[in-house]
Structure 1
Amino acid sequence: MGAAPTPPRQPPSPKRLGLGLAALALLSASLLALQVFSVDDDVFSELLPPSVEDAWEEVLQRASHTQVRTLSFSVCNGFANQRLSLVFGLVIAKQLGRVVVLPQMLLNGMQTSDENREASDTPSSTPFEEFYDLQALRAALAPFHMRLLTHVQGAALPPSRSSANVTLAGSKPIESVVDHFALHQNRDHISMDCPALYLATGVVQAESKFIRAVLMGLRPSHTVEGYIRAAVERLGTFNFLHLRIERDWQAHCKRWAALSAMDGVVRDNCFNHTIDVHRAMTAMGFDRHVPVYIGSQWEQVRPRLVAESLSGMAAAGFTPIRSRSADSLPRELAALVDFELAMRAERFLGNSVSSFSALVILERHYRGLWAGYYNGGDIPLEQVSPA
């Protein structure tokens, strides 16, 4: 049976979040509503546009005559890893004071092994703005004077006089971004591989306000939002259960547990209470009258295990609903739909070892929403994310 289900952490109070975050959220919302964008560098000075889009048209016109120092990065396989890649890549760009060329996003990325992290520019990739609302992110990061270019806009810039390709894979967590990239500080363009989880805890904590602004600014694109709203209308009031029961997850749990032999850290909570998750839901006081939307990769599951888990929920009085919110979408866009449904549910229950669940828990706590996990233990992602 394993350890007893871990009670959900209490959502942070407004006092704990701090007035600074509240002010930042208010400022970001105001910027988004007014569509005002401002920057203070010499290259972009005297810029007072009527809208964010007009601002960037003028930025590109000026950049065509001036060398702009830029940074680009790739993303890792898997929806949550792509989201983390964006967060960590933007932190690095902020600390280096560089314009960001946003990456192409994977449509069907899946991390099937610890080595299968890196994404390439393949036919299965698509522009950032197909996933997320570009103007919302620009507005959210405007108070930090961040400048973001799309992949196409980056390609339209004058050719770099000098560039550097930086490999992060296999390196230790970066304690100082400026020192790590010092050798390349005079290069016009820096490109790097997937930056997810390569920043030390101290760097992440120091940028906690910025990271929260990034996460708040990663709003779904208008197209994806249409799928989300349609699903919400069908579901009404619902709770969300992220059930990690797929074949690749079971393989991941074996690799995860094997790491204990290397560092002595106990990792025995990866698959706990997956089959009898209804016990955790009962212990945490889930309302049996509220249907439970279950997010999982159904094509990857073992039918016997799923049947056992779902029958246990039904016998306990819960109404499980399998996720079918975006069957026509590619895998990673469908995952974004599920992520947003998890954010908009009454309650969220997930697996703390899963980076998808961990991000939902983190972001729901930012917003004062209920979130918990059924597998016991801790949340590994907390070690490299702002608590």
Structure 2
Amino acid sequence: MSYLEHTVKHVPTGLRKILFMNWPLAILLTSVAGVGFLMLYSVAGGSFSPWAEPQIKRFGLGLAIMFTVAMVPIWLWRNLSGVAYGATLVLLVAVELFGSVGMGAQRWIDIGFMRLQPSELMKITLVLFLAAYYDWLPVKKVSRPFWVLLPILIIVVPTALVLKQPDLGTSILLLTAGGGLMFLAGVHWAYFAAVIAAAIGLVTAVFQSRGTPWQLLKDYQYRRIDTFIDPSQDPLGAGYHITQSKIALGSGGWSGRGFMQGTQSRLNFLPEKHTDFIFTTLAEEFGFLGGVSLLCLYALIILFCIVSAIKNKDRFASLLTLGIALNFFLFFAVNMSMVMGLAPVVGVPLPMVSYGGSAMLVLLLAFGLVQSAHVHRPR
């Protein structure tokens, strides 16, 4: 028994749960959100409206959600995992039927005070359901074909619905996070090797088919690939976003131009500077050191989640914590790769920094589950 556990042994249960929370993780999340508030204030030209103020309010609501979720026993979340997954699946179908349209995509449901994006919620409920599935499934059955097929279906169905919206970025995250959790649960590596080999074969076939009668993609889709490989081919068209992003990243240098001194963002050259491309604003104003500092905060969040999962003797809680950590990693890895030109622009926000209600609240809900797993772990 640790010193903290011995000290709070006779403390009332509610207060004991608060003391047992992973406070370093909560402080790190608040620090990252603070970076986001600062950057949203900057891109608005030194004003809390229209982005920083509502983001601060959402963070306050998100913290309340995180603490509330953390107080609920982890076994209850395991029992509710199927209901949560099913309800989110229904919401995805509802988006398809009568969702709100924005920027050419149908991804949201208007619930009055905000627009809910069910695909964001699916990132968490999918991990929750898969963790419960592998907690229920005996370890000796994990790699048997039938028991591998079921989680594949659990992953593919919501991915197909999200892809239809269309939302390529989120669908890729769902596939990757689901597959990653299967690997963490102990599914044999041969299945993943087969998938990787098939993906390489498909990519090869796509490129080999270009200009042939059996061409697999449309001409405009090939042009998008060309632009991703060399944005200078169309600097004022499809390559504009990534070209301006690279200019902003490069102009920041080692220590940046200074707070609110970024020319690319101030003069509105940067696209979506308050959402998907907010990292480029940070890098332009605070330079390489600022970008690495944010990356270190993200890395520490991942590290605290991994340590918590390793120490947890409950299989469900451990898998859930690792799955959420993997999801969080994919969020910032894909966003940063995208704005640096290392990955196609797919519309994935920078977690806790980019402006957005659904993403912020869902992430804090997810970390509430991580806190619940930490607070209620066997001691």
TM-score bracket, normalised by the shorter chain, equals under 0.3
More strand, by proportion: 1
TM-score of the superposed pair, with normalisation by structure 2: 0.26
Higher relative contact order (CA 8 A, sep 6+): 2
